[in-house]
Structure 1
Amino acid sequence: MTKRYELRDDQWEKIKDLLPGRDAHVGRTSRDNRLFVNAVLYRYRSGVPWRDLPERFGDFRVVHTRHSRWSRSGVWKHIFQVLAQDAGNEYAMIDSTIVRAHQHSAGAKKGAAAHAIGRSRGGLSAKIHATVDALGNPTGFHLTPGQAHDLEGADVLLPQTQGEPMIADRAYDAQERVITPLENANKGIVIPSTRSRKQVRDYDHHIYQARHLIENFFAKLKQYRAIATRYDKTACNFLGGIHLAAAAIWLI
């Protein structure tokens, strides 16, 4: 019987061969991969501190150290990217969401800004930039301090996005950074014009209604309590948790 927040057998079958330590894989074997993945999922879904992980997952320090190692080496990102290959590219959406950073998330080496934590009127925060496909499934992420403009995410994510037309709110109506690159790539543009634009650009209002799908995705992502509130000190670990949660959403 599957315990709460853990992967079902069919979900595990889809990712087990993507992990280090699998059979016939060069390097150290890891027969407890499933237990470890479930431990990290449990932590991010429930929001408990690492030291409060249930005893069945073993020493929390080992789990945390291994999560940090897999985040740095890109294991979580690789799992997510493999699952995201099934994205529906009828159209794509981009947006961002702000998450409050817990006071304990500050203090990592190199400073808060280097780890995508900023201070604004609401306190410490981070901003998750994301793209989703035509079904609202995630296809890419970028992390910045909370006060960063949405266009910082667009600079990174738009060149990587396959779907078209591109749907976004008017915060992305920037001629040089968004509109011109999309036009040069012959992609449709479903972005309302800003009020300051002298020549209003027409867009498909019917397709624009699908933009709620990316908001729905952010709602799913924030069901993971350690993502809705950021506790991780480093951007690497936090982004690793986001990639794992996004992979789990693909597996639903």
Structure 2
Amino acid sequence: MGRGNLCDTAWARLERNLPKNVGRGGRWKNHRTVINGILFRQRTGIPWRDLPARFGKWKTVHDRHRRWSADGTWDRILRAVQADTDAEGRIDWSVDSTVCRAHQHAAGAHHRAARIPGRRCRPSQHRSDEAVGRSRGGFTTKIHLVSDGWCRPLAILITPGQWGDAPQLISVLDRVRVPRPAGGHPRTRPDHLCGDKAYSSRRNRHYLRRRQIRHTIPERRDQRANRQRRGSRGGRPTSFDPASYSRRNEVERTINALKGFRAVATRYDKRAYVFHGTVTLAAIRLWLG
């Protein structure tokens, strides 16, 4: 086993969730070699054409990652791996975001939905803006994510770098679907949610109260001043528990682990759905341990 490759234990957990065939034609071969090649590129951030020969043809590795990013295979594998460890507990969640610099090769994609020959791709996977934003620092992409109490990603959302955090809270929470091994509806609601003041808004707090989700989100200074200025019409002060808020470091540690993959820390993928697959595969690797 080469350095950084999947160990036998991690491969056994992953193998049973992989697709069995490609539809028409023959079956997939050398799943383990190809996935190790994808993970090697994730970890090092090298161009696909520079993959070592031990992983086979670089185009085979690239095409399989691109195809599985387009048809939602990586998302399904992530949910399946989450279901295997759902019984561990610690279902308090934290939400945060991080900005990734986009390489110059990530810009310039055509504004059209990508199509994979012989595959029906989900429209939700394709963005017209390709999630590349412009700022003073250049091209950027923002990763919004929810993590559990064990510092593992539960759901991921990719947006342009200049998009705010608060408007994306509901979208990223709605993406959480943790299947239950014993059957029944998937878990979509935590016991408690923690976030920084960037997620403080009346819309978000109303959404969390309506879903009966206890939360710890500090109130921004301008929002507190505006509430006090309005008097009784401003509503009651928001509750804040410093002990619960101290656990927000869990999502920060999750982001740090994700950015240990250089292909996540710097976006090299031109298409948004491929970069989403890149981040999702990094999350799968963290769940496998």
TM bracket (short chain)? over 0.9
Q: 2:216 aligns with which of 190, 193, 215?
A: 190
Is 2:142 aligned against 1:127?
Answer: yes
Q: 1:163 aligns with which of 179, 190, 203?
A: 190
State how far apart, in whole Å, the 2-side matches of 1:164 and 1:121 are. Answer: 39
State how far apart, in whole Å, the 1-side matches of 2:168 and 2:142 are. Answer: 9
Say if 1:110 and 1:26 are closer, same or farther in 2 by CA, change over 3 A.
Answer: closer
Q: How do 1:46-57 and structure 2 match up within 5 A? A: 46-57=44-55
- Aligned residue pairs, count: 248
Q: How do 1:84-123 and structure 2 match up within 5 A? A: 84-85=82-83, 86-87=85-86, 88-110=89-111, 114-123=129-138
State how far apart, in whole Å, the 1-side matches of 2:240 and 2:128 are. Answer: 37
State how far apart, in whole Å, the 2-side matches of 1:77 and 1:122 are. Answer: 31
> Partner of 1:174 in structure 2?
201
> Partner of 2:16 in structure 1?
17
What is the RMSD of the two structures over their aligned residues, measured on CA atoms? 1.8
Offset, 1:158:
2.2
3-state SS of paired residue (1:115): coil
Offset, 1:162:
2.1
Q: Which has the larger radius of gyration?
A: 2
Report the AA paired with residue 30 of structure 1: W
Q: Where in structure 1 do 4 or more consecutive aligned residues deviate above 4 Å?
A: none
> Partner of 1:217 in structure 2?
254
Moved more, 238-247 or 82-91: 82-91
State how far apart, in whole Å, the 1-side matches of 2:44 and 2:91 are. Answer: 34
State how far apart, in whole Å, the 2-side matches of 1:120 and 1:212 are. Answer: 27
Q: 2:28 aligns with which of 10, 30, 38?
A: 30
Show CA shifts across 1:42-66 (max 9, x none). 0011111101100011111221112
Offset, 1:30:
1.7
3-state SS of paired residue (2:129): helix
Report if aligned partners of 1:127, 1:144 keep a CA contact under 8 Å in 2. Answer: yes
Report if aligned partners of 2:146, 2:153 keep a CA contact under 8 Å in 1. Answer: yes
Unpaired segments of 5 or more residues in structure 1?
none
Report if aligned partners of 1:130, 1:140 keep a CA contact under 8 Å in 2. Answer: yes
Offset, 1:140:
0.3
Q: Percent identity?
A: 37
Report if aligned partners of 1:113, 1:145 keep a CA contact under 8 Å in 2. Answer: no
> Partner of 1:249 in structure 2?
286
> Partner of 1:43 in structure 2?
41
Unpaired segments of 5 or more residues in structure 2?
113-126, 177-187, 228-235
State how far apart, in whole Å, the 2-side matches of 1:164 and 1:180 are. Answer: 17
Moved more, 9-18 or 159-168: 159-168
3-state SS of paired residue (2:263): helix
Show CA shifts across 1:115-145 (max 9, x none). 1000011110000000011222110000000
Offset, 1:90:
3.4
